[in-house]
């Protein structure tokens, strides 16, 4: 029996979405991505492939804090995290604090078939090398200027003012996520983030844990918000 596909995407929660012009621009970006990924599902694409496709498109959109447009950490570097959960296979894979690539979700995808399915820092960099991923600088002028502003204030903020649009400098958070149900009734979830910004080196995001990204044979969850709060509740896995 063929199931009508279902798709949920998000570009991160936060006050940034309440801006007027900003809200429209963010909606337009999300609508375009939903259209592409939903068409893929309607053409028989699998839930796992669909969430990877959606996450890549969101990682490529500099409005969102994932992939290109990620926020800078306390030392001025970008380190990104992402994970993929196949609800049918009940397999989670993730990458923590990976740098200088375009699509962190692709590393999580590659790890689905590995014995070691969650890699961080040096291991993640080694995996990127093995996968022969091209070097990509995810830094945008906006994120750099935000970090420079924080530097002027001697980093008095506990996290970056992650904006989805330039005029809303007070907005926070911005992880991206995709949950899909395909025509075969299979569910998958993908989440990707640049973190919360200004964090200590080595901080681990919920987005690369089952707390922030999880799926079963019947449901999927991709979380957005402050990772520590999400981890405290082990939110996504509670389903
Ligand atoms: N939810 C993204 C993060 O806190 O890293």
- Ranges of residues in the chain whose predicted pLDDT is under 70: 13-21, 155-173
Of the candidates 212, 49, 222, the residue with the CA atom closest to the CA atom of residue 57:
49
Ligand 1 pocket residue status of 172, Cβ below 6 Å: no
pTM (two decimals): 0.92
Evaluate whether residue 201 is within a structural domain: yes
The answer to whether the CB of 212 falls within 8 A of the CB of 227 is yes
Choosing from 177, 189, 191, 205 the residue with most ligand 1 atoms within 8 A of its CB, the one to mutate for a pocket test is 205
> Is there a contact between 94 and 206 (Cβ–Cβ < 8 Å)?
no
CB of 23 within 6 A of ligand 1: the answer is: no
Range of 66's domain? 6-238
Q: Is residue 72 part of a domain?
A: yes
Count CA within 13 A, CB hemisphere, residue 185. Answer: 5
Which of 68, 140, 175, 216 is catalytic? The answer is 175
Q: 42 C-alpha to center of ligand 1: Å?
A: 31
Q: What pLDDT score was predicted for residue 45?
A: 98
Side-chain-side CA neighbours of 176 within 13 Å: the count stands at 38
Give the Cα separation of 25 and 171 in Å (integer). Answer: 15
Domain-located, residue 199: yes
Query: What is the domain count for the chain?
Result: 1
d(CA 186, CA 217): 6
**Ligand 1 atom at shortest distance from the alpha carbon of 228:** 4
- 204 DSSP 8-state letter: -
Query: Which of 14, 173, 203, 211 has most ligand 1 atoms within 8 Å of CB, for mutation?
Result: 173
What residue's CA is closest to ligand 1, atom 4? 227
The span from the CA of 167 to the CA of 125, in Å, is: 35
Nearest-angstrom CA–CA distance, 113 and 111: 5
Does residue 1 form part of some domain?
no
Q: Give the integer Cα–Cα distance in Å for 99 and 180.
A: 27
Give the per-residue pLDDT at 110: 98
Dump pLDDT digits (tens) for 32-83.
999 999 999 999 999 999 999 999 999 999 999 999 999 999 999 999 999 9
Question: For this structure, is 2 an active site residue?
Answer: no
Contact indicator for 166, 4 with CB cutoff of 8 Å: no
Phi-psi category of residue 100: left, alpha or beta, with phi > 0 → left and psi -120 to 50 → alpha: left
The answer, yes or no, to whether any atom of ligand 1 lies below 6 A from the CB of 196, is yes
């Amino acid at each position: 029996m063929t199931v009508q596909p279902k798709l949920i995407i998000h570009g991160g929660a936060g006050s940034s979405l309440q801006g007027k012009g900003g809200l429209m621009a963010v909606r337009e970006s999300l609508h375009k991505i939903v259209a592409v990924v939903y068409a893929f599902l309607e053409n028989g694409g699998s839930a796992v492939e669909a969430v990877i496709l959606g996450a890549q498109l969101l990682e490529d959109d500099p409005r969102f804090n994932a992939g290109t447009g990620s926020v800078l950490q306390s030392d001025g570097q970008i380190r990104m995290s992402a994970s993929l959960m196949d609800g049918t296979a009940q397999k989670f894979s993730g990458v923590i604090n990976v740098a200088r690539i375009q699509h962190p979700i692709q590393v999580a995808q590659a790890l689905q078939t590995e014995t070691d399915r969650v890699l961080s820092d040096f291991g993640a960099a080694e995996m990127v090398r093995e996968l022969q991923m091209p070097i990509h600088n995810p830094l945008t002028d906006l994120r750099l200027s935000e970090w420079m502003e924080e530097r002027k204030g001697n980093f008095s903020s506990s996290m970056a003012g992650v904006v989805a649009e330039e005029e809303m400098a007070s907005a926070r958070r911005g992880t991206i996520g995709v949950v899909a149900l395909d025509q075969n009734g299979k569910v998958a979830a993908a989440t990707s983030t640049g973190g919360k910004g200004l964090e200590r080196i080595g901080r681990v995001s919920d987005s690369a844990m089952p707390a922030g990204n999880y799926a079963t044979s019947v449901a999927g969850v991709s979380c957005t918000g402050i990772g520590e709060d999400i981890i405290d509740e082990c939110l996504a896995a509670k389903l």
